[in-house]
């Protein structure tokens, strides 16, 4: 077969459908030859046709391009690229290893990747990656799919809620619904659509999904040492195609329907008022170290796409995953921006959380930059102006930039909030000033550069670490089934088991204490200034049985056990009421930091702090006990409507304590709304049913309990 082709154009990159065919364009500066391979089926071992790019006709600068008439959506393709194979100079071209298009919009999704066949060196050679592999491997990796971007969006647009009016719910898309026996499409994009009523009832505004871009879930060779089960890359922090939604999360074989189903999920979530934030991994790719497979970037231009060591055979590894993407090379910056634009414009995504975001601030030698162009481009990009951009403000090589992340408008995962709140409720002997700072927006981190309380993404748990139930059930991690002899995962958990390691009998004193602590954590999180995020399933005590690094557990360890939702409806209801309370009280959504001043001239500062005796705390000595009063008047909040005055009392000691309560505004009285020391339903009562305090000037706070009063 000898398909006639046309010259084509160098932009846009990727495979783009036109009325009369498909335009192909791909970057490579150092390649000497490129071919486009067309296939009939995902499992084909040979292409039906190989179309060679003529460098005189089909190359403009560093872009290789051509147009194939009459090619339709669903067409399957790969590339083969020739050039120097000289690892010590940073070049790893190998024409025998077929390559995925870096701009591919979909990959054949039911494919089982065969990593060893994609390695560009001879596995039997003692020279290792200095040797050369001559095996042709088109049957061993997925094929790229030509995608038709047309979709009936029904006038949908990204919701882009302001951060201060958001509550983020972090989930793994597959694990969220995989074990739900009531669904037609568990573990898929459409399965999420089926769970929309649950999400609406819970009250969250924003779903933050773990990585949804294509990755190889079969890249691990380890097995569960107890069961023998093969371990998988479940989390997906190993991206290999930055424009392609994960094919295995669709209901079909992954032949392009994943794009349509992804869009359907977004559209239906938006109809329900729920936005989508994607966890994106631009810090490294799934090609690993110098011994890893050649799937795409390494074979197109290794020395451009990656930060290489001084000995260019090796990779700088700031990600802890074998390589580091060269994010501040102009070509790679352009690819990242193109990817973000695609997910926002074509897929209607509302925001991004950038995994190991500090890497995006490293230069081409790996040094941290004062004004990184990549981060500034994202922050100032006009298309992304209202898109959420959230940084994990550290990396695996020691960079830690929480409170200092460059780029202007970036929000940050605030692990200082996580650790300080955990320490307080565990009852550590730490001064309460750290808690006071965290629950009022972390001004020590964000005030100095003009950012706001909502730039702090407050969280206590996330996918990386214990679930909230396990935080109060285990004193140490239990990751033995990960196959790394329990060496993986964080040892600094600030957790406690309250007498029993692991599960305790329902209704036992240990179980009741854990339930109270869960409510304490959730009340603190959802009543703090800042943007709250919590781990999906924490609202009904999802457990990973002490595993604090379940990245390789694509099974019941990670999947939501929906039977627990029925067993813990009281906690789920408590969390839902907290979310609705947060949104109904503007004092908790204020856009500015507290000042401690009387902005209303009513003899009441916007926030006032007290010890248990109604005195100003001795910040150098005060531990385990703290109270605060918030003036809810609109003038003190710069908000558009009034709010109730609130009074919070925190007691992390093991002893019951009497708190003297400062008075509310004149003419108002305190009512008790929340007391985690009480049993359901008294722990959180409806506002119209909240009982008056008698007497008004004191309240008995049980040990390890939180109390919220409201003036009325």
**Residues 327-357: tens digit of each pLDDT:** 999 999 999 999 999 999 999 999 999 999 9
Q: How far apart are CA 327 and CA 314, in angstroms?
A: 17
* Cα–Cα–Cα angle for 468, 474, 475, rounded to 5 degrees: 120
Say if residue 50's pLDDT is above 70.
yes
Beta-carbon-side half-sphere exposure of residue 410 (alpha carbons within 13 Å): 29
* CB contact at 8 A, 673 and 617: no
Catalytic residues: 355, 392
**Higher pLDDT residue, 136 or 633?**
136
**Residue 301, class by beta-carbon neighbours within 10 Å (0-12 exposed, 13-18 middle, 19+ buried)?**
buried
Q: Judge whether 107 and 256 are in contact, CB under 8 Å.
A: no
- At residue 1, the pLDDT reads 65
CA atoms within 13 A of residue 453's CA, in its CB half-sphere: 24
Among 3.30.1330.10, 2.60.40.10, 3.30.1490.20, 1.10.10.10, what is the CATH number of 1-148+289-326? 2.60.40.10
Question: Nearest 5°: phi and psi at 566?
Answer: -70, -40
Measured at the alpha carbon of residue 52, what is the angle toward residues 110 and 50, in degrees to the nearest 5? 40
Confidence band for 528, pLDDT divided at 50, 70 and 90? very high
The torsion angle over the Cα atoms of residues 475, 480, 484 and 486, rounded to 10 degrees, is: 20
Q: Mean pLDDT throughout 197-209?
A: 98
Query: What pTM did the predictor assign?
Result: 0.97
Alpha-helix residue ranges (DSSP H) falling in 146-188: 173-177
For a pLDDT cut of 90, what percent of the chain falls above it?
94
Q: How far apart are CA 361 and CA 653, in angstroms?
A: 42
Confidence band, pLDDT 50/70/90 cuts, at residue 641: low
pLDDT at 563: 97
Class (C level, CATH) for 595-711: mainly beta
Confidence of residue 638 (pLDDT cuts 50, 70, 90): low
Tell me the mean pLDDT in the region 70-97. 97
Task: For residue 396, name the pLDDT band (cuts at 50, 70, 90).
Answer: very high
Q: Give kind and range of the element (H or E) at residue 57.
A: none
* Mean pLDDT of the 88-113 span: 94
- Enumerate the H helices of 221-329 as residue ranges: 257-271, 297-305
Interval 647-665 mean pLDDT: 96
pLDDT digits 0-9 by tens, 403-425: 999 977 999 999 999 999 999 99
Dump pLDDT digits (tens) for 432-479: 999 999 999 999 999 999 999 999 999 999 999 999 999 999 999 999
H helix or E strand, kind and range, residue 509: helix 509-526
Distance separating alpha carbons of residues 183 and 401, to the nearest angstrom: 42
pLDDT-derived band at 635 (thresholds 50, 70, 90) equals very low
Mean pLDDT in residue range 179-205: 98
Please report, for the chain, the start and end positions of each structural domain, with discontinuous segments joined by +.
1-148+289-326, 166-288+333-586, 595-711
- Mean pLDDT across 286-309: 98
Predicted pLDDT of residue 633: 76
Which H, E and C letters describe 111-151, residue by residue?
A: CCCCHHHHECCCCCCCCHHHCCCCCCCCCCCCCEECCCCCC
Q: d(Cα 317, Cα 601) in Å, to the nearest integer? A: 56
Average pLDDT over residues 472-496: 97
Res. 374: pLDDT tops 80: yes
Model confidence at 113: pLDDT above 50: yes
Domains 1-148+289-326 and 595-711 share a fold: yes
Average pLDDT estimate for 484-500: 96
Q: Is the pLDDT of residue 673 over 90?
A: yes
The pLDDT tens digits for 120-157 are: 999 999 999 999 999 999 999 999 999 999 999 999 99
pLDDT band at 106 (very low <50, low <70, confident <90, very high): very high
d(CA 658, CA 678): 15
Specify the CATH architecture of the domain 166-288+333-586. Alpha-Beta Barrel (3.20)
Residue 332: the pLDDT is 98
Q: How much is the average pLDDT of 582-595?
A: 94
Report CA dihedral (257, 260, 262, 265) to the nearest 10 degrees.
Answer: -120
Q: Across the chain, what does the average pLDDT equal?
A: 95
């Amino acid at each position: 077969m000898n398909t006639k082709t046309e010259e084509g154009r160098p932009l846009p990159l990727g495979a783009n459908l036109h009325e009369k065919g498909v335009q192909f364009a791909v970057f490579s500066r150092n390649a000497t030859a490129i071919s486009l391979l067309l296939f009939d089926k995902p499992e084909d071992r040979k292409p039906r046709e190989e179309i060679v790019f003529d460098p005189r006709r089909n190359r403009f600068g560093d872009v290789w391009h051509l147009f194939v008439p009459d090619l339709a959506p669903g067409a399957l393709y790969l590339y083969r690229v020739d050039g120097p194979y000289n690892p010590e100079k940073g070049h790893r071209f190998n024409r025998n290893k077929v390559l995925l298009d870096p701009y591919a919009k979909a990959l054949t999704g039911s494919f089982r990747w065969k990593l060893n066949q994609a390695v560009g060196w001879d596995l039997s050679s003692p020279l290792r990656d200095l040797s050369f592999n001559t095996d042709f491997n088109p049957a061993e990796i997925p094929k790229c799919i030509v995608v038709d971007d047309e979709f009936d969006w029904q006038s949908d647009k990204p919701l882009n809620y302001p951060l201060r009016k958001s509550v983020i719910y972090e989930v793994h898309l597959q694990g969220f619904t995989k074990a739900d026996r009531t669904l037609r499409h568990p573990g898929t994009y459409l399965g999420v659509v089926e769970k929309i009523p649950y999400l609406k009832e819970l009250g969250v505004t924003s779903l933050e999904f773990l990585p949804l871009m294509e990755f190889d879930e079969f890249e691990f060779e380890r097995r569960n040492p107890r069961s023998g089960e093969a371990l998988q890359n479940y989390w997906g922090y190993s991206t290999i195609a930055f424009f392609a939604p994960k094919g295995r999360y669709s209901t079909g074989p992954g032949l392009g329907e994943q794009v349509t189903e992804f869009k359907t999920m977004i559209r239906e979530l938006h109809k329900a008022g729920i936005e989508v934030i994607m966890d994106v991994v631009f810090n490294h790719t799934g090609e690993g170290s110098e011994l890893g497979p050649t799937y795409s970037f390494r074979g197109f231009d290794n020395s451009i796409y990656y930060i290489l060591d001084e000995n260019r055979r090796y990779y700088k590894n700031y990600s802890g995953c074998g390589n580091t993407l060269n994010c501040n090379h102009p070509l790679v910056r352009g690819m990242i921006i193109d990817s973000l634009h695609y997910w926002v414009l074509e897929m209607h995504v509302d925001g991004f959380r950038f995994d190991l975001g500090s890497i995006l601030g490293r230069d081409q030698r790996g040094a941290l930059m004062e004004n990184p162009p990549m981060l500034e481009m994202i922050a100032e990009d006009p298309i992304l102006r209202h898109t959420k951009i959230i940084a994990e403000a550290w990396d695996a090589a020691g960079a830690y930039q929480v409170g200092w992340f460059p780029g202007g408008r970036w929000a940050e995962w605030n692990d200082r909030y996580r650790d300080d709140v955990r320490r307080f409720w565990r009852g550590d002997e730490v001064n309460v000033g750290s808690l006071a700072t965290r629950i009022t927006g972390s001004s020590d981190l964000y005030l100095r550069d003009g950012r706001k309380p909502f730039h702090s993404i407050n969280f206590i748990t996330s996918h990386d670490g214990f679930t909230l139930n396990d935080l109060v059930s285990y004193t140490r991690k239990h990751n033995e089934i990960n196959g790394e002899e329990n060496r993986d995962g964080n040892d600094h958990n600030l957790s406690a088991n309250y007498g029993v390691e692991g599960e305790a009998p329902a209704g036992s004193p240990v179980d009741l204490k854990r339930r109270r602590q869960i409510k304490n954590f959730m009340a603190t999180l959802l009543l703090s200034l800042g943007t709250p995020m919590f781990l999906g399933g924490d609202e009904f005590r999802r457990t990973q049985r002490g595993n604090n690094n379940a990245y390789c557990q694509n099974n019941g360890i990670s999947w939501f056990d929906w039977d627990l939702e029925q067993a813990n409806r009281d906690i789920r209801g408590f969390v839902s009421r907290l979310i609705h309370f947060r949104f109904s009280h503007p004092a908790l959504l204020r856009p500015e930091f507290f000042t401690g001043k009387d902005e209303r001239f009513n003899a009441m500062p916007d926030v006032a702090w007290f010890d248990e005796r109604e005195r100003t705390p001795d910040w150098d000595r005060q531990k385990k006990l703290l109270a605060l009063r918030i003036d809810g008047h609109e003038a003190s909040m710069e908000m558009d409507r009034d709010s109730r005055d609130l009074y919070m009392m925190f007691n992390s000691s093991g002893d019951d304590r009497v708190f003297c309560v400062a008075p509310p505004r004149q003419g108002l009285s305190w009512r008790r709304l929340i007391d985690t020391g009480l049993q359901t339903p008294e722990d959180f009562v409806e506002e119209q049913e909240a009982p008056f305090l008698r007497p008004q000037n004191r309240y008995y706070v049980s040990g390890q309990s939180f109390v919220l009063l409201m003036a009325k």
